[in-house]
Amino acid sequence: MSIHPTAVIHESAKIGKGVEIGPFCQIGKDVTIGDGCKIFSHAYIGERTVLGESVEVHMQVVVGHEPQDLTWAREPSSCEIGAHTVLREFSTVHRASRPGGMTQIGQRCLLMVGSHVAHDCEVGDGVVLANHCSLAGHVKVGDGAFLSANSLVHQFCRVGRFVMLGGAAVAVQDIPSFMLSTGDRAVIRGVNVIGLRRAGFSADIRRAIQDAHRLLFRGKKTIPEATELLFQSKVPEILELANFIADSARGVATGVSMASFTSQDQDLPQ
């Protein structure tokens, strides 16, 4: 264990083995820091925050501070960061605003410079939030999603598994799993083919998802009608997609036709 003498650590904090805490860090009440974590200089870890094993918290990061919610009545809440997640400079994660609630970041995530996760969010495993990406309160992000630089997600929206959200996109409705979405307001451009390939999805599964995309967003059926047809599939990923859409409270983002693609669009299904 290596703790710089200028670090301020509350007496109730629990610090694991092999933890490194740099200069001028502040560790709050009832914080738990797992084995092998690295806390770089000037980082702030708020009360009731839990860091899993080998988390990296870089310079000027704020984790587990008070929620930016005018309805918060200062009830106890918490924040949890999964093992091997990296929080880069100036990123922020606020604890929940609901009594006893928790803001959760999964394992092996990367929050790049200036990214923000608001109160009561749930972020899955292996998620990347690129520079200055912001999630409003109560957002849910599925495993393996990639949210590009300067993208924004409206409160209570959901971003499905292995979604690619493009740079500066503004998502005001749910983005279904496996899709590629861009724009203000964000629309469904196609399937995240490259992301699925990198994640090990077979060619057959990728084709099935592309067929589902065409049915949902380029056919003549309404989204509810197309979703009912998807429920007839025996492919788990298609059933996952159908359930995601059926469970949507805010509605899902609309699709666009091939005619609206520009020559700059790449890796979209033909």
Q: Which of 119, 132, 154, 213 is catalytic?
A: 119
Q: Which of 46, 94, 116, 120 is catalytic?
A: 120
Report whether 131 contacts 110 (CB < 8 A).
no
Query: CA-to-CA distance for 222 and 153, rounded, in angstroms?
Result: 25
Is 137 known to be catalytic? yes
Q: Which of 22, 46, 114, 137 is catalytic?
A: 137
Exposed/middle/buried for residue 217 (C-beta within 10 Å: 0-12, 13-18, 19+): buried
Is 120 known to be catalytic? yes
Tell me, letter by letter, the H, E, C secondary structure of the chain.
CEECCCCEECCCCEECCCCEECCCCEECCCCEECCCCEECCCCEECCCEEECCCCEECCCCEEEECCCCCCCCCCCCEEEECCCCEECCCCEEECCCCCCCEEEECCCCEECCCCEECCCCEECCCCEECCCCEECCCCEECCCCEECCCCEECCCCEECCCCEECCCCEECCEECCCEEEECECCEEEEECHHHHHHCCCCHHHHHHHHHHHHHHHCCCCCHHHHHHHHCCCCCHHHHHHHHHHHCCCCCECCECCHHHCCCCCCCCCC
Spatial CA neighbour of 179 closest among 106, 118, 112, 254: 254
Is 119 known to be catalytic? yes
- Active site amino acids: 119-120, 137
